[in-house]
Amino acid sequence: MMGLLVFLRGGVNLILVTIYLGAVGLFCIPWYFGTRDRAKPATGMERFFAASWVWFRRIICFSFGLMIIVGSLFTLVRSEGGLTVKIVLGTILMILLGIFGIYVGLIGQGPNRQGLKDDFKLHEENKKRYDWRS
């Protein structure tokens, strides 16, 4: 509905249509994989979408994680008022956030957001199901 309002107000152009279709596609990914019967072998289309999603997730999460880590280290080195507790703690927290971003890019997250066991279990299941090497 929101996309329709944007189209009506701003007009239609190729960039807007591309962004809109990309966003709709990203929102459809959880629905698509939620409708798959995991007891049956994966189809070719399912393997394609799974590999596309993993590489998209890795690119986004690695970029986010590395930018956060490099940016926080740059801030730490370039702090003009000297090293304060706030700057050091903020840098440590941002580095941990960056590491978590890289972790999500590599492994992903399972249904339980509070623990890590299901992350590794789901990743191993997906590797077997979709014939992934990493």
Residue 84 lies in a domain: yes
pLDDT in tens, 15-74: 878 888 888 888 888 788 878 888 888 888 889 888 888 888 899 999 999 999 999 999
Residue 51 lies in a domain: no
Into how many domains does the chain fold? 1
- Distance separating alpha carbons of residues 22 and 109, to the nearest angstrom: 22
Find all residues with CB under 8 Å of 61, minimum gap 6, and list them. 101, 102, 104, 105, 106
Residue 74 exposure: Cα atoms within 13 Å on the Cβ side: 6
User: What residue numbers bound the domain in which 79 lies?
Assistant: 57-128
Query: Shortest CA distance to 67 belongs to which of 123, 105, 29?
Result: 105
SS3 5: helix
Radius of gyration of the CA atoms of the chain, in A: 20
Residue 68 lies in a domain: yes
Residue 5 lies in a domain: no
Residue 31 lies in a domain: no
The pTM of the full predicted model, rounded to 2 decimals, is 0.74
Residue 133 lies in a domain: no
pLDDT in tens, 79-105: 887 788 888 899 999 999 999 999 999
Residue 106 exposure: Cα atoms within 13 Å on the Cβ side: 9
- Distance separating alpha carbons of residues 23 and 2, to the nearest angstrom: 12
Residue 20 lies in a domain: no
